[in-house]
Amino acid sequence: MTLLEVQHLTKQFGGLNANRDISFTVNKGELVGLIGPNGAGKTTLFNCISGLHPVTAGTILFDGRDITSLKAHEVARMGLARTFQVYVASGDLTVIENVMVGCFMRTRSRARARARAQEILEELNLREVGDSLVSELPVAAQKRVTMATSLGSDPKLLLLDEVAAGLNPSEIEDIMKNIRHIHNDLGITVMLIEHVMELVMKVSDRVMVLDYGRKIADGDPESIARDKNVIKAYLGERFVREHGEALA
Amino acid sequence: METLRNALDFSDFPRFDLLIAGLVAVFMLVFPLFPHSAFAMATMIQFLMFSLYGMGWNTIGGYGGQVDLGKAQYVGIGAYTTAVLLIRWDIPFWFSMPLGMCFAVLWSFIIGYPLFRLKGHYFAIATIATSLVLMDLFQVWDFVGAARGLEISPIKYHPPDWWRLIFKEDIYYYYVILGFFLLGVFYMNWFRKSRLGYQLRSIKDNEDVARSLGINVHWAKIKTYAIATAFVSMVGSFHACYIKNIEPEDTMSLDISILIALMAMLGGAGSLWGPILGAAVLIPLKSYLKEWLGATAGLAGIDLLLYAIIIMAISAIEPRGIWGIVEKIRRRKRR
């Protein structure tokens, strides 16, 4: 069953085409990776889907409803959550308070929000740091806090924007476990932007590739790793010409 | 039920703080029973009034991070509503105060809707502008006495008149405003734990993150602005009965707006005790400065100089004011 359907999405910033005619679907229960070189338009795509940017052209359907012209908070309330790549915590909120803000989307009661936040912190191994300020935590824990906060709203679809960027291998291992837990145990459909290939290739059911705002490939991780267009996008035309035989 | 519990529950503060708060509360309750000067009494009433203004400011300015420098316009709306209704139609305080709050909230919606499309400094400047425009309007509006203002003459009434809030002795006014003050503290204690309170802090942190957590940022700001407004207008109504002589200049001028914001920031924006601490420091200081130096010609602007120094100190040392320093020290100790 289709959960998210994007049809011919185009996003222009002045003369710049950040997303050009992108179409794809995400099925319920899938875990889809989204990769591409820097500036390929991945985060812009997330911003369009989550309603932060108005789209220039195209349609976005979520859970059977046209959400193209909905505002970000309306999209969020439908069950589409996301994390942010650059999260600047002002140092005002503690970890649990952050997660509670997410939980407050579904309840007015502080007691219930707190209890739910407690559960989520437990699930993401953040319980001990609940009362710390987010800005006091190491990057890896901060990334898990952003995931926990978006989980607070009990989403159907979670968009993760580079949650493994800047982490060391063992931290990546941990965050991979968290992502698998969210996907397998909590049954949430996930779409993730990632530069860390071993993570994307290991956890994704399907991988999509963007380059210069266009979708250039879409398939299972193995076929994407061998796709000529993808290698060209990452390593350049010359590399493919010189190593063509080896790749085929 | 949970609302009431949240309002009355201060248990997330350290015992030491609660002890101090309790002692201060007891002091405030019994203070008028001991011999005191009229000056001390007037200063205490000013302190309570400005604490309440600051609490109102703190909702949108502190928790929400939207620096509002136009709160005086709502002091004016409250004060003028109460004064006009009493003088023209003999409508008592307890009716005119809620009515004034309604007018103020209505006005806050009208200007809040477009104003909250602006951010940061632009918002702050726009609030100053609307407040000044309203003051100018009142200065030429004959119905409200124009620049001459309005005077409530107590001779017409029979003090103590609880209904119209007309008293001869300040002690009555003191206990009325103390009642408002205590209610204000409980309300703010509820507010900071409410859903809106948390949402505002998230908005202050990062608006895009807040939006993606289902928060209607624009509406949350307008709602909070209305709450702040209601607070300020309520005290404005009290101001009219207490001072009895109101003019556009001394209810709606920029000085008052700045003083309200400054107090909350000095004490600690976005904290429960901040506005009270700020008022406790600034109001006596201002009163004594006026007493000492006010008579000396040429030194009239000394309090403005003081504000400037405080603004610089806050931005250079700790943006979260006195309470921010306290919390910083506590965090360091715990680790």
Say yes or no for a CB contact (<8 Å) between B201 and A97.
yes
Say yes or no for a CB contact (<8 Å) between A93 and B202.
yes
Distance from C-alpha of B18 to C-alpha of B24, rounded to nearest angstrom: 10
What predicted TM-score, i.e. pTM, was given to this entire model?
Answer: 0.90
- b or e along B98-136 (b: 16 or more beta carbons within 10 Å of the residue's beta carbon)? ebbbebbbebbeebbeebbeeeeeebbebbbebbbebbe
Contact present, A84 and A97 (Cβ < 8 Å): no
Q: Tell me, what amino acid is at A18?
A: A
- What are the structure tokens assigned to B231, written together? 């607070």
Give yes or no for B218 touching A (CB within 8 A).
no
What pLDDT score was predicted for residue A166?
86
Distance from C-alpha of B10 to C-alpha of B7, rounded to nearest angstrom: 8
Chain A residues whose CB is inside 8 A of the B195 CB are: 104, 107-108, 110, 113
Average pLDDT over all residues of chain A: 90
Contact present, B327 and B334 (Cβ < 8 Å): no
Nearest residue in chain A measured CA to CA from B211: A73
For the ranges A166-175, A238-247, B127-136, B217-226, the one whose mean pLDDT is highest: B217-226
Q: Tell me, what amino acid is at A202?
A: K
Q: Chain A: give the shortest CA distance to residue B65, in Å.
A: 11
For residues A31-47, give the mean pLDDT: 92
Distance from C-alpha of B78 to C-alpha of B82, rounded to nearest angstrom: 6
**Which parts of chain B have pLDDT scores under 50?**
none
Give yes or no for B325 touching A (CB within 8 A).
no
DSSP codes of every residue in B86-110: HHHH---HHHHHHHHHHHHHHHHHH
- Tell me which of A49, A101, A106, A149 to substitute to probe the interface with B (most B C-beta atoms closer than 10 Å): A101
Say yes or no for a CB contact (<8 Å) between A92 and B206.
no
Give yes or no for B6 touching A (CB within 8 A).
yes
Contacts of B258 (CB under 8 A, 6+ apart): B69, B307
Q: Tell me, what amino acid is at B309?
A: I
Distance from C-alpha of A27 to C-alpha of A35, rounded to nearest angstrom: 18
Query: Which of B2, B209, B215 faces A111 most closely, judged by CB atoms?
Result: B2
What pLDDT score was predicted for residue A89?
57
Chain B residues whose CB is inside 8 A of the A73 CB are: 211-217
Nearest to B164 by CA among B229, B87, B105: B87
Q: Tell me, what amino acid is at A177?
A: K
CATH topology of domain A2-79+155-247: Rossmann fold (3.40.50)
For chain A, the domains span: 2-79+155-247, 86-154
Query: Which of B193, B206, B213 faces A153 most closely, judged by CB atoms?
Result: B213
What pLDDT score was predicted for residue A4?
95
What pLDDT score was predicted for residue B304?
76
Has the ipTM of the complex gone over 0.85? Answer: yes
Query: Which of A52, A88, A89 faces B211 most closely, judged by CB atoms?
Result: A52
Distance from C-alpha of A26 to C-alpha of A34, rounded to nearest angstrom: 12
What pLDDT score was predicted for residue A67?
95
- The single residue listed with the structure tokens 């503290």 is B185
Query: Which of B6, B214, B217 faces A110 most closely, judged by CB atoms?
Result: B6
Contact present, B301 and B245 (Cβ < 8 Å): no
Query: Which of B6, B198, B208 faces A101 most closely, judged by CB atoms?
Result: B198
For residues A219-228, give the mean pLDDT: 87
Chain B residues whose CB is inside 8 A of the A81 CB are: 212-213
Query: Which of B193, B210, B212 faces A50 most closely, judged by CB atoms?
Result: B212
For chain B, the domains span: 2-9+42-253
**B143-156 pLDDT, tens digit each:** 888 878 888 887 88
What pLDDT score was predicted for residue A98?
92
What pLDDT score was predicted for residue A247?
56
Size of interface A-B (CB pairs under 8 A): 81
Give yes or no for B211 touching A (CB within 8 A).
yes
Say yes or no for a CB contact (<8 Å) between A52 and B198.
no
Distance from C-alpha of B210 to C-alpha of B296, rounded to nearest angstrom: 52
**What are the CA-CA distances from residue A122 to residues A82, A147, A176 (Å)?**
20, 13, 16
**What are the CA-CA distances from residue A70 to residues A2, A151, A238, B94, B225 (Å)?**
19, 21, 44, 44, 25
- Tell me which of B2, B211, B212, B323 to substitute to probe the interface with A (most A C-beta atoms closer than 10 Å): B212
Query: Which of B2, B199, B212 faces A76 most closely, judged by CB atoms?
Result: B212
- Enumerate the β-bridge partners of residue A190: A31, A158
